[in-house]
Amino acid sequence: MADRPDKDQLVRTPKPPAAPKAPAQGGLPVDEPSRRPPQEERAELARRIAEIEGSLQYMGAAHPQRAKMQEHLAKLRAMLGRT
């Protein structure tokens, strides 16, 4: 006859769920990246506006992306006016 394990050995008890790992640090980051100077932000906006205007110049009136690009251009111009 084959040796059978005791019934207690057949019953498996589930392990308790593992606790979620907590982050090493809490709260806000100490070294936040510094914001770019406004002059750089304005120059970047102006560059992007010029790029989109150039694309619209060569884009046909029936192009499927034209309306979307015109809306984006209007938003960028408004942002440039606010900065």
Q: What is the pLDDT of residues 11-52, one digit of tens each?
A: 777 788 877 776 666 666 666 666 788 889 899 999 999 999
- Say which residues have a Cβ less than 8 Å from residue 46's Cβ, sequence separation at least 6: 80
Q: Quick check: is 55 in a domain?
A: yes
- Say which residues have a Cβ less than 8 Å from residue 65's Cβ, sequence separation at least 6: 59
Q: What range defines the domain where residue 56 resides?
A: 37-83
pLDDT given for residue 78 in this prediction: 93
The sign of the CA dihedral 74, 78, 81, 83 is negative
Number of C-beta neighbours around residue 75 at 10 A: 10
Q: Quick check: is 16 in a domain?
A: no
pLDDT given for residue 74 in this prediction: 95
- Say which residues have a Cβ less than 8 Å from residue 70's Cβ, sequence separation at least 6: 56
pLDDT given for residue 22 in this prediction: 66
Domain count for the chain: 1
Q: Quick check: is 28 in a domain?
A: no
Q: Quick check: is 58 in a domain?
A: yes
Q: Quick check: is 65 in a domain?
A: yes
Residue range 48-76, pLDDT digits in tens = 999 999 999 888 888 888 999 999 999 99
| Residue 16 per-residue DSSP state | P
